[in-house]
Amino acid sequence: MLIVGIILIAIITFGVVNIMQNYQTGNELDYYLLRETTEAAMTDAVDYGYYRLSGLTRIDKERFVESFVRRFAQNVSNRRDYNIKFYDINETPPKVSVLVTSSTVATTDGTEDGTMTITNKIDAILESNYYANDYVTKLIRSGELDYSEIEEIGK
């Protein structure tokens, strides 16, 4: 009976260790995936035309969301359910807040409500070396920008 008890305790211990390892590894992988995907999607979403005109960095919201979802979907595990929420996307200055929640395969009570969830949130700001072009900035704000003058401004 003692040997059966030891084997039973060993099996339960291995199960608990396996569940905790799945949870911790999933949390770490989700965090790094979220961080790298956010950085790459923000770089993809930079509006280079606006940058050339004003010298200020700006991202396109729709392009960011599209790039983020595409990149994230290519790299996730098929054994989990992911929920992505975009809380804040500022175009100028470029800042995003993204929350990703994933459900693991482990459940606490055998139902869908008892699944263990991993939540990661990231706030990212895209920084760059700004240069000030006062003439172009004044023209943009007043609505009098003539694109034929752009070549002369850059010289």
Tell me the whole-structure pTM to 2 decimals.
0.67
Burial (Cβ within 10 Å: 0-12, 13-18, ≥19) of residue 91: middle
Cα→Cα distances 17→10, 101, 121, 122, Å: 10, 22, 26, 28
Among 118, 112, 120, smallest CA distance to 26 is for 118
CA distance 133 to 138: 9
| pLDDT digit string (tens) for the chain, length 155 residues | 889 888 999 998 888 887 777 666 667 788 888 999 999 999 999 988 877 777 778 899 999 999 999 999 898 877 778 899 999 898 888 899 999 988 766 555 555 555 677 888 999 998 876 666 666 666 666 666 555 555 555 44
Domain ranges of the chain: 2-142
Indicate if the alpha-carbon torsion angle 104, 108, 114, 116 is positive or negative. Answer: negative
Compute how many other C-beta atoms are within 10 angstroms of the C-beta atom of residue 50: 17
Cα→Cα distances 148→32, 59, 63, 144, 145, Å: 45, 25, 28, 12, 9
Q: Which helix (H) or strand (E) holds 99?
A: strand 95-107
Q: In the prediction, which pLDDT does 155 show?
A: 47
- Helix intervals (H) in the chain: 2-44, 48-54, 61-75, 134-142, 150-154
Residue with tokens 């392009």: 63
